[in-house]
Amino acid sequence: MIATEIETYREQHAAFQRKSSPEWLVELRQQGLDAFTRLGLPTKRLEDWRFTNVSPLTANPYELSSLTSPDNEIVGDEINALVQQATLDESYHRLVFINGRYCEESSRLHDVSSGVIIDNLASVIRSRANEVRDQLSGGLDFDESAFAALNTAFIDDGAFIDIPDGVASDRPVHLVFLSTGSSRTVSHPRNLIRLGKGSTANVIESYLGNGDVYFTNSITQITLDESAELDHHKLQHEQIGALHIAMTRVDQRTSSHFRSHYFSFGGSLARNELDCVLDGERIETTLNGLYMPKGDQLMDCRTRIDHAKPNGNSHELYKGILDDKSKGVFNGKIFVRQDAQKTDAKQSNQALLLSDDASVNTKPQLEIYADDVRCTHGATIGELEEDALYYLRSRGIPIDFARKLLIFAFANDVVQGVELAAVRRHLESLLLSGHELSEDIL
């Protein structure tokens, strides 16, 4: 079985590589394919995938849609509807990708300050070959991760954001990844984000689709130079039958700030890997996450924070709200290297189980090699508080609204961590769906 599966991807790869590309890229993709061939798709036997069984979803291969339908020239009503659905604020820059390929017609780019580049990867591969090559191959260990290797084997398109030194970006950049079509399509978006010294930016990645069974395998590589600040948001709204695998790799230099806001709602199986390397002093890293599986969904949040240098702070808050027979996995690892004295690392992971059949596996891990550090971690699993529900109802609030309100209250600190009003409103209305929304909810 597995051999044929890999064989299929190899065949696709051969066809894919026929497209004209620079030699270095052809080579990088080949390295990706070789690593993938060697690693094979992950099974539950791997410690890192113990609670997350992808085998049923990967047993049949997915197809690269660019091989069958090569362009995104025709934008139909369906696409427009999806774009509409994804849109948060018309004033944001918007880059739309359909099945992994940039779609200019649906994208909206406003003027940018000089030196700022907001583009798609395919169009900068030649014009900025050196930077792109360095960033694509930097930091990411696709030798260890089959999905990262597979993505690398099929590097094609994605977002390219480059903010030069000292630029405070005024408009957030919204990256919209759409999966369409009825067949088992796969896309491998590859995004590069680089912020120069002292610059700031807001980026949002949205994932959604209208196909039933498809596979998104994305990678975002982020580099923050000294004192740069990035707020990175991810809104995972894939269709219920989708397989969503994503890896975000962040390289942080001295005094930089990175804030991640991860919100996971869709997909049959969604695995999000977030890997931060704090390679400089006085770095701040905040990872906030909210995952809300229901039905048979499985959501796996895997985070790594690697404190390599002194005086770094990291705060991690992940909350899960699990209904029906859904499953959650939280696997958060914090390394504090020998050099990283005076590190302050806080990790908290809380789950709210709305049903007896829902379950969550949490695995916080601290590996500390420095002696003068403050590291705390805590995990709680609870249910909706009956007393609170009763209190709300006894003031006239109907039970379904009261439940939503308490769920909202549980999720609220993660939502309020988002500073972009349009993103926050989007989340608030999702959480309180069907009920009136008020600006003074806090």
Partner 1 sequence: MLEIKNLHARSDETEILRGIDLQVNAGEIHAIMGPNGSGKSTLAHVIAGREDYEVTQGEIHYNGKDLLDMEIEVRAAEGIFLAYQYPVEISGVSNKYFLRTAMNCVRKHHGESPIKRTEFIALLKQNLDRLGMDKSMMDRSVNEDFSGGEKKRNEILQMAMLQPKLAVLDETDSGLDIDALKIVANGVNALRSPERATIVVTHYQRLLDYIVPDKVHVLAGGKIVRSGDKSLALELEDKGYGFLQELTAT
Judged by the rule CB under 8 A, the positions of this chain that interact with partner 1 are: 387-388, 390-399, 401-402, 405-406, 408-410, 412-413, 436, 438, 440-442
Taking the least distance from each CB to partner 1, the nearer of 194 and 261 is 261
Residue that the structure tokens 């990283």 belong to: 340
- Least distance from C-beta 354 to partner 1, angstroms? 16
Give the tokens for residue 69. Answer: 């339908």
- Select 124 or 388, whichever has its Cβ closest to partner 1: 388
| Least distance (Å) between residue 399 CB and partner 1 | 7
Provide, rounded to whole angstroms, the least separation between the CB of residue 391 and partner 1. Answer: 4
Q: Looking at beta carbons only, is 50 or 403 nearer to partner 1?
A: 403
Nearer to partner 1, 146 or 407 (CB): 407
The CA distance from 307 to 305, in Å, is 6
Instruction: Find the shortest distance in angstroms from Cβ 390 to partner 1.
Output: 6
Considering beta carbons, is residue 112 or 441 the nearer one to partner 1? 441
Closer to partner 1 by CB, 1 or 442: give it.
Answer: 442
Minimum distance of partner 1 from residue 290's CB (angstroms) = 13
Cβ within 8 Å of residue 257, ≥6 positions away:
224, 228, 229, 230, 283, 284, 285, 286
Closest to partner 1 by CB, 210 vs 416, is 416
CB of 430: closest distance to partner 1 in angstroms? 16
Give the nearer residue to partner 1 in terms of CB position, either 369 or 391.
391
Least separation in angstroms between residue 394's CB and partner 1 is: 5
Give the nearest distance from C-beta 19 to partner 1 in angstroms.
51
